[in-house]
């Protein structure tokens, strides 16, 4: 009974929709979320909360186990290039965004962007997240890393999720 109540409480009180979770070498965890719309600063660079349906996020952190020596378990991984292509499953309309580094008091550092869905909040959406590692201009590698893991922090990845339902999260407000 306790488990049922816990799941019920989480489902109806969660302020973020988990779209998907991926683990890749060398011990990096990606959690993709649809979060409640928010006011983001500087406002001149971000979609206003009043025009936003969903705050789309990627939490990118070291795992808690099987990580490189010196990595902080659960620590944020900077300098990633992450894009999201959101496609309306019914109409085919699309929106494309670059996720940028953000910080808040819930997830701390993460990548995110306010978006207007390309259709009704009641529609379902297919989402493609593309991950590109930092370039050698953004991130320099010491010899020990290079010898153990190679010339990149990680490989390029594409993750796809089908028929995501944003309706509940789009109807939610932080106020």
> Looking at residue 65, what is its pLDDT?
96
Question: By percentage, how much of the chain surpasses pLDDT 70?
Answer: 92
Residue 5 has pLDDT above 70, yes or no: no
Q: Is residue 157 classed exposed, middle or buried when 0-12, 13-18 and 19+ CB atoms within 10 A define those classes?
A: middle
Domains, in order of start, for the chain: 16-170 (2.60.40.2480)
Contact present, 62 and 25 (Cβ < 8 Å) = no
Residue 155 has pLDDT above 60, yes or no: yes
**Three-class HEC string of 67-111:** CCCCCCCCCECCCCEEEEEEEECCCCCEEEEEEEEEECCCCCEEE
Contact present, 26 and 67 (Cβ < 8 Å) = yes
Instruction: Compute the average pLDDT of residues 73-80.
Output: 98
Beta bridge partners, 97, equal: 84
Look at residues 105, 106, 102, 124 and name the one whose alpha carbon lies nearest to residue 114. Answer: 102
Instruction: Compute the average pLDDT of residues 10-32.
Output: 86
Tell me the C-alpha to C-alpha distance, in Å, between residue 52 and each of 5, 15, 34, 72. Answer: 32, 15, 12, 34
pLDDT one-digit tens code per residue, 92-148: 999 999 999 999 999 999 999 999 999 999 999 999 999 999 999 999 999 999 999
């Amino acid at each position: 009974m306790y488990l049922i109540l816990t799941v019920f409480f989480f489902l109806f009180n969660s302020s973020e929709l988990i779209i998907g979770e991926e683990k890749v070498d060398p011990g990096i965890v990606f959690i993709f979320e649809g979060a409640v719309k928010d006011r983001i600063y500087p406002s001149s660079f971000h979609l206003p909360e009043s025009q936003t349906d969903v705050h789309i996020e990627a939490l990118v952190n070291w795992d808690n186990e099987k990580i490189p020596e010196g990595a902080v378990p659960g620590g944020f991984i900077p300098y990633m290039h992450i894009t999201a292509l959101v496609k309306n499953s019914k109409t085919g309309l699309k929106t494309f965004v670059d996720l940028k580094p953000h910080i808040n008091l819930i997830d701390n550092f993460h990548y995110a962007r306010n978006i207007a869905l390309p259709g009704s909040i009641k529609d379902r959406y297919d989402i493609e997240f593309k991950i590109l590692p930092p370039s050698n201009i953004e991130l320099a590698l010491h010899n020990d890393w290079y010898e153990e893991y190679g010339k990149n922090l990680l490989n390029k990845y594409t993750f796809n999720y089908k028929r995501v339902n944003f309706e509940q999260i789009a109807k939610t407000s932080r106020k």
